[in-house]
Amino acid sequence: RIHPVWINLETALSEWASTGLQIIEKTYEIPRIIRMVGKTNARMVKEFTGDKIGGNTDVKIKLTSP
């Protein structure tokens, strides 16, 4: 069984991250340079503005215990 505190932590972190993406989407109008790392750990540098998020601000955080 998963402890209720663990579930609350996952939910709170998911909501926090979603809110952060919503803020970025609305406020990043000036192009910024970001660095991303993909599945193969290949780094990619791109120009980024908040409108590129396109409303996709759903975040699901799943923690694992040791």
Q: What is the spatial distance between Cα 32 and Cα 34, in angstroms, rounded to a whole number? A: 6
**Residue 13 DSSP one-character state:** H
Residue 57 CA neighbour count, 13 Å, CB half = 16
Q: What's the confidence (pLDDT) of residue 22?
A: 94
**pTM attached to this predicted model:** 0.67
Structure confidence by residue, pLDDT tens digits, 9-51: 999 999 999 999 999 999 989 988 887 777 787 888 888 898 9
